Structure 1
Amino acid sequence: MILVTGATGTVGRLVVERLPAGLGVRLMARDPGRITGAAPWVEKVAGEYGDAGSLARALAGVRTAFLVTARVGGGDDAAFVRAASLAGVRRVVKLSAAGVLDAGAGDVITRWQREGEELLRASGMEWTLLRPRAFMSNSLSWADSVRSERTVRALYGRSGNACVDPRDVAEAAVRVLTGEGHASRAYTLTGPEAVTAVGQTEQLGRLLGVDLRFEELGVGRARAVLAGRYPAPVVEALLQSAERQRAGAKAGVGDGVTVLTGRPAGTFAAWARDHLAAFAPVPEEAGT
């Protein structure tokens, strides 16, 4: 039995869509009714990291688990690792982050991911770590301003990030979950090249057939925008992450996607082409 946590999230839902038929699969989400793309034979269960009983039920009979946590510093990794060990789970594949490899990264998000990795290594279970760079789908945060203003706003728009297609991360996860030979291995998952927000804006404009404008955000404005979405410690961590990106820490390209999937990593242009409807500008009113 394979357990997939975070089955409604960015990567989890894509893993659900890619799991081959014929496997025992259980999907865990806070609200199983929100799980989409699952085959009829797949089991869905309600589970929360803070509810030991629900974790025990979700993990019963599970051999391999895909662990995705999102509550920074909330103890969810520890709760899951403890429950998985008690349930006799053989191996856990954890979705971590490429930033753990950056010696200069000491922000709260990176520390949380490092701590989660260490908990898993010390658990006695087999483990594999998937460390993606930023997701290409993060650019969906620009969709509203692209549609209504034909504008992209970002901090340090000319800094490079080897962001990765979440579909590649999901495919890599499925290969690890369903294959052997990945115990005690860590894979860094990136796109095929470092791209900048300015470059992404240009690519989106070409694909949409419109002129898009890039507007550089200052640190103060970026902090205000992020504060509307995240707690203060996470906001500061994201701003520190942006500073590391400006210094070149996120431009390196890895081969993890190719190693695990047997093909090159997808480009931002390919991702954008497949998600272009999200950015389609609102038609101008007649006579304006």
Structure 2
Amino acid sequence: MILVTGATGVAGREVLAALSGHPVRALVRDPAKARALPPGAEAAIGDYADGASLRAALQGVTSAFLVTNRVTHDDDGAFLAAAREAGVRRVVKLSAASVTDAEAVDAITRWQRATEEALRASGLGWTVLRPRAFMSNTLAWTSEVRTGRTVRVLAPTGRNACVDPRDIAEVAALALTRDGHDRRAYTLTGPRPLTPVEQAAELASQLGRPVAVEELPAADARERWGRRHPGPVVEALIESASRQGRDAKVAVDPALPTLLARPARSYRTWVADHLDAFRAT
């Protein structure tokens, strides 16, 4: 049995799809969201803070896909302790490419480095996936694009070798189901770095109408994100965008095409497959 955490999130949904045909259990917090799981996926309702629910979800599990995102909680520690107790043999963890950048010292990256170290010290078999930004992050623009309003972003001319979540999921499925990936960390990127301006141009080309982008001032970003995130997280997001503006995220890594024996999916392909989300209603 394979356990997928974060099963209703962007990465988790794609990992469930990539594991079609394998016995899979999906850990979800909200019972209502369990109804959206794909056919064949067994639902386990639980939370990292609820040890009993974790133990139940991990019963009979041999490998697990681990996604955590609460910087102020030790969700990784809770999960790894329960996984050891349950006899899990392998954990594939979703991390981020920024952990390899010595200049990235923001709160999110420090937390990610700590969670990776906890996994390596856990005594479990492990694989770490370190993707660049998800191509699907541009779904955050859907409201503006649908209504013809200007998209506002930090570092609109900063380049990022963004990656299709479906490619990340296929690598995760390999690591979860096949040998040869233990104690490996893979940086996963798309085929070339793109700026938000270039992403908007691709959207515009396929939609057949303009998509305008302008810079979001840091002060406006702090006000907007401060409604949803703690201060250190907000500052980490702003610093991440600043590093993108300094071309810290442009490197294209060969790991993904090597592992999948094919080129990484392009942003053009991602847009074509998700274009309906951006069409005017």
TM-score w.r.t. length of structure 2: 0.96
Structure 1 residue 46 and structure 2 residue 45: aligned?
A: yes
Find the counterpart in structure 1 of residue 152 from structure 2. Answer: 153
Are the counterparts in 2 of residues 150 and 281 from structure 1 also a CA contact under 8 Å?
Answer: no
Contact 2:90 2:176 in 1 (8 A): no
CA distance in 2, matches of 1:173, 1:124: 20
Amino acid aligned to 2:9: G
State whether residues 27 and 44 of structure 1, in contact with CA within 8 Å, keep that contact through their aligned partners in structure 2.
Answer: yes
User: Are 1:5 and 2:5 an aligned pair?
Assistant: yes
8 Å CA contact 1:8–1:34 kept in 2: the answer is yes
Larger CA deviation: 95-104 vs 219-228: 219-228
CA RMSD after TM alignment = 1.3
Identical pairs, percent: 54
| Cross-structure match for 2:221 | 222
- Residue 286 (structure 1) aligns with: none
Other-structure match for 1:285: none
2:108 corresponds to 1:109: yes
Alpha-carbon deviation of 1:225?
A: 2.5
| TM-score (norm: length of structure 1) | 0.94
- In 2, Cα distance between equivalents of 1:232 and 1:274: 35
Could you tell me how far apart the structure 2 residues matched to 1:273 and 1:37 are?
Answer: 24
Q: What amino acid does structure 1 have at the position aligned with 2:4?
A: V
Alignment CA distance shift 1:90-1:69 (3 Å) = same
Structure 2 residues without counterparts, runs of 5 or longer: none
Which residue of the partner structure matches residue 136 of structure 1?
135
Report if aligned partners of 2:8, 2:37 keep a CA contact under 8 Å in 1.
no
SS in 2 for 1:103: coil
**8 Å contact kept, 1:176–1:260:** no
Q: CA deviation at 1:172?
A: 1.1
Q: CA deviation at 1:38?
A: 2.1
Measured in 1, the distance between the counterparts of 2:278 and 2:131 equals: 24
* Cα displacement string for residues 101-121 of structure 1 (whole angstroms, at most 9, x for unaligned residues): 010111111111111100010
Secondary structure in 2 matching 1:139: helix
1:24-39 alignment to 2 at 5 Å? 24-35=23-34, 36-39=36-39
Structure 2 distance, partners of 1:271, 1:93, is: 24
What is the match of residue 173 of structure 1? 172
Return the alpha-carbon distance in structure 2 between the equivalents of residues 7 and 150 of structure 1: 32
Equivalent residue for 2:117? 118
Distance 1:29 1:256 in 2: 30
Where 1:50 maps in the other structure, the secondary structure is: coil
Structure 1 residues without counterparts, runs of 5 or longer? 283-288
State the partner residue of 1:84. Answer: 83
Write the distance in 2 (CA, Å) between the matches of 1:34 and 1:131.
27
CA distance in 2, matches of 1:147, 1:68: 31
- Of stretches 4-13 and 26-35 in structure 1, the one that deviates more from structure 2 is 26-35
Which residue is 2:63 aligned to? 64
2:275 pairs with 1:276:
yes
1:37 CA drift (Å): 4.5
Asked whether the equivalents of residues 17 and 37 of structure 1 are also in contact (C-alpha less than 8 Å), the reply is no
The C-alpha deviation readout for 1:146-174, integer Å capped at 9, x for no partner, is: 11134221111111000111111111111
Residues 1:15 and 2:12 are matched in the alignment: no
SS of the counterpart of 2:25?
Answer: strand
Query: For 1:215, what is the secondary structure of its paired residue?
Result: strand
Paired positions, count: 280
- Please tell me whether residue 210 in structure 1 is matched to residue 209 in structure 2: yes
